[in-house]
Structure 1
């Protein structure tokens, strides 16, 4: 069995500073770390799929490191549109899989799986894009690991959400990404963040899941003139479990918090 836990959009701030002047994102991230530490059986890996910090500053990455020191399982991080590649790379020098320059895409084995992390960030902008070099590298990875089950992690999801103010900042070249995937048959699922909501769809034949934020959740407003809004809904993470009976995982949405129960029935 292989288990990957996914957090996303944690938006760490400097000590004492609130996210959007309204929410203690650090406190909520700390609660999520505590929740992950209680999972049994323990995850093989924790993936944080972007927007690790809110402004990409050195102070925020230092706070992120301090908080992740409390996580009891191995973890990997990838950038989102609120991150800074240079500061992220400098904050995790021991993460040898992070490239020395350019896009912070990488791949590694997790049990019998191949995890491929794609850097969709565009420095200085909020939309996502996969450059030609990254797409070519992905194609090569999928060829070289054709006999392994592959899970792809990225920040910007490769589909239109139907929420107008989110889709302005989506992945601009999802079609080019889909064209690469269409040549391969070993990708089990795509995991993304960015949208601060749980969503599920398909890109071609590949299931796509987005992970909620550990801070605020973005409002489901699909009207053409909808204005951006968020709610302080329960924070959550995703738990993806490959049991060995199938090459496909079961993905679970898990809320962070303390709730009534357990009750002696199911």
Structure 2
């Protein structure tokens, strides 16, 4: 069995500061760590798909390392639009799979599954884009792993959500990515963050899933003139589980915290 827990959009702040001056995102992430440490089956890897911090400052990455210290499982981090590549790289210089310069793409193996973390961020901007070099890196990795399941992890999801105030900050060159993905049959699924909601769709024949935030959840408002809004809905993460590592995963939405139960099943 192979199990990967995916968290996203944790928006860690410097000690004592609130996310959007309203929410204690650090305390909420600490509760997520507590939930992961109680989890069965035990994750082989915890993957955090971007927006590790809110402003990308060294102080925020220092706070993030402190918050991650109690985590009992192996973990990997990747950037989102609120992160700073250089500060992230410096804070996690013990993670040897992170490139020493440039875009923060990396591949890691979790049992038989190959994780390809694809950096969609653009320094100083909130929308995402994949450079020619990014797509070249991805194609090389896919071609080298034809006989094993591959998961592509990215911050910006490769589809239009229908929420207008999200889509203006979406991934710009989805077409080139989709065309590349269509040529490979070894992609088990694509996982993403950024949208602070659970969403499911496909890119061609490949399932795509987004992970909720451990902080606020973005409102589902699809009217063209919709006002941006977030809610303090229950925070959650995704659990991707391969009962047969050579097969396809089942992905579970998992809420963070303690809840009443267990109750009678029938």
- Number of equivalences: 266
SS at match of 2:47: strand
Cα deviation per residue 1:207-230 (whole Å; 9 max; x = unaligned)?
000000000000000000001100
TM-score under structure 1 length normalisation: 0.99
Q: Partner of 1:97 in structure 2?
A: 97
Q: Partner of 1:143 in structure 2?
A: 143
- 1:186 maps onto 2:153 in alignment: no
Q: Partner of 2:14 in structure 1?
A: 14
Superposed displacement of residue 260, structure 1: 1.1
Taking the aligned partners of 1:221 and 1:182, their CA distance within structure 2 comes to 30
Taking the aligned partners of 1:247 and 1:60, their CA distance within structure 2 comes to 38
Q: Partner of 1:223 in structure 2?
A: 223
Q: How do residues 10-89 of structure 1 correspond to structure 2 at under 5 angstroms?
A: 10-89=10-89
SS at match of 1:156: coil
Q: Partner of 2:251 in structure 1?
A: 251
SS at match of 2:177: helix
Q: Partner of 2:173 in structure 1?
A: 173
Taking the aligned partners of 1:138 and 1:51, their CA distance within structure 2 comes to 21
SS at match of 1:241: strand
SS at match of 2:190: strand
SS at match of 1:81: coil
TM-score under structure 2 length normalisation: 0.99
- 1:153 maps onto 2:137 in alignment: no
Superposed displacement of residue 264, structure 1: 2.6
After superposition, the CA RMSD in angstroms is 0.8
Cα deviation per residue 1:82-121 (whole Å; 9 max; x = unaligned)?
0000000000011000001110000011000010000000
Superposed displacement of residue 245, structure 1: 7.5
Superposed displacement of residue 159, structure 1: 0.2
Taking the aligned partners of 2:245 and 2:171, their CA distance within structure 1 comes to 33
SS at match of 1:28: helix
Which sections of structure 1, spanning at least 5 residues, go unmatched? none
Q: Partner of 2:131 in structure 1?
A: 131
Q: Structure 1 pair 245/191, CA: closer, same or farther in 2 (3 Å)?
A: closer
- 1:106 maps onto 2:106 in alignment: yes
Taking the aligned partners of 1:209 and 1:103, their CA distance within structure 2 comes to 23
SS at match of 1:114: strand
Of 180-189 and 236-245, more deviation after overlay is shown by: 236-245
Taking the aligned partners of 2:149 and 2:185, their CA distance within structure 1 comes to 9
Which sections of structure 2, spanning at least 5 residues, go unmatched? none
Q: Partner of 2:235 in structure 1?
A: 235
- 1:201 maps onto 2:201 in alignment: yes
Taking the aligned partners of 1:100 and 1:92, their CA distance within structure 2 comes to 11
Q: How do residues 115-126 of structure 1 correspond to structure 2 at under 5 angstroms?
A: 115-126=115-126
